[in-house]
């Protein structure tokens, strides 16, 4: 039985991934977020909800106990959050991390330079990449609500191929990464809908 801790569990991608994980797998989920009331009622005996902030190291350590995979879907002080997550995972001996970032952090989007707006994403990815964790950083394009699973990935160093991706496509990739040991370890993947 795989235990997955989802940080920022009320995010728009996390909500779709949670639904898929409940319907398509037998994993145990721990949902960690600042305001659990926003989740509403998730009808599953495989879900535990913890109210907490990622920057609260003591609380995060409690949530980390017994976890196999951490999926972080965060917004805010990303570099600080990345440092907190890496520190707690190291002290908790949890190795597998799936981290949501943004396209463009390596200037890999042809013809575009998003400049300083991407600095928090760049810096947090740098923290993750400097760690000893079995990470996969996802760099999606702009999100759509299309009811489709249609995506391709590019590796760090390759040009990003497109812009849009459905939340459902990204959630599908997150589920695969979370339940498939060894898949795309220490990789940074651009994720987009094929053009």
Report pLDDT digits (tens) over 156-171.
999 998 889 999 999 9
| Average pLDDT of the residues in 6-34 | 96
Number of structural domains in the chain: 1
pLDDT given at position 1: 84
Average per-residue pLDDT for the chain: 95
Spatial separation of the C-alpha atoms in residues 5 and 153, rounded to whole Å: 24
pLDDT tier at 42 (50, 70, 90 boundaries)? confident
Q: What is the pLDDT of residues 100-141, one digit of tens each?
A: 999 999 989 887 776 688 999 999 999 999 999 999 999 999
pLDDT tier at 4 (50, 70, 90 boundaries)? very high
pLDDT tier at 43 (50, 70, 90 boundaries)? confident
Give the range of the structural domain holding residue 186, as residue numbers without chain letter. Answer: 3-192
CATH number at 93 reads: 3.40.50.720
Q: What percent of the chain has pLDDT over 70?
A: 99
3-state secondary structure the chain: CCEEEEECCCCHHHHHHHHHHHHHCCCEEEEEECCHHHHCCCCCCCEEEEECCCCCHHHHHHHHCCCCEEEECCCCCHHHHHHHHHHHHHHHCCCEEEEECCCCCCCCCCCCCCHHHHHHHHHHHHHHHCCCCEEEEEEECEEECCCCCCCEEEECCCCCCCCEEEHHHHHHHHHHHHHCCCCCCCEEEEEECCC
Q: What is the pTM of this model?
A: 0.96
CB atoms within 10 A of CB 57: 16
Top pLDDT among 195 and 10 is at 10
pLDDT tier at 14 (50, 70, 90 boundaries)? very high
| Average pLDDT of the residues in 1-27 | 96
């Amino acid at each position: 039985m795989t235990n997955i801790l989802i940080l920022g569990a009320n995010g728009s991608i996390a909500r779709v991934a949670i639904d898929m994980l409940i319907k398509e797998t037998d994993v145990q989920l721990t949902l960690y977020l600042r305001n659990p009331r926003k989740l509403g009622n998730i009808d599953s005996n495989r879900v535990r909800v913890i109210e907490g902030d990622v920057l609260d190291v003591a609380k995060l350590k409690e949530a980390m106990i017994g976890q196999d995979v951490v999926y972080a879907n965060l917004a805010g002080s990303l570099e600080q959050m990345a440092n907190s997550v890496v520190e707690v995972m190291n002290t908790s001996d949890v190795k597998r991390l799936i981290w949501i970032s943004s396209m463009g952090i390596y200037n890999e989007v042809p013809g575009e330079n998003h400049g300083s707006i991407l600095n928090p994403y760049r810096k947090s990815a740098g923290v993750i990449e400097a760690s000893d964790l079995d990470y996969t950083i996802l760099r999606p394009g702009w999100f759509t609500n299309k009811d489709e699973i249609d995506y391709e990935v590019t590796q760090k160093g390759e040009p990003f191929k497109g812009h849009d991706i459905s939340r459902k496509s990204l959630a599908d990739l997150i589920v695969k990464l979370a339940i498939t040991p060894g898949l795309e370890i220490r990789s940074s993947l651009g994720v987009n809908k094929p053009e």
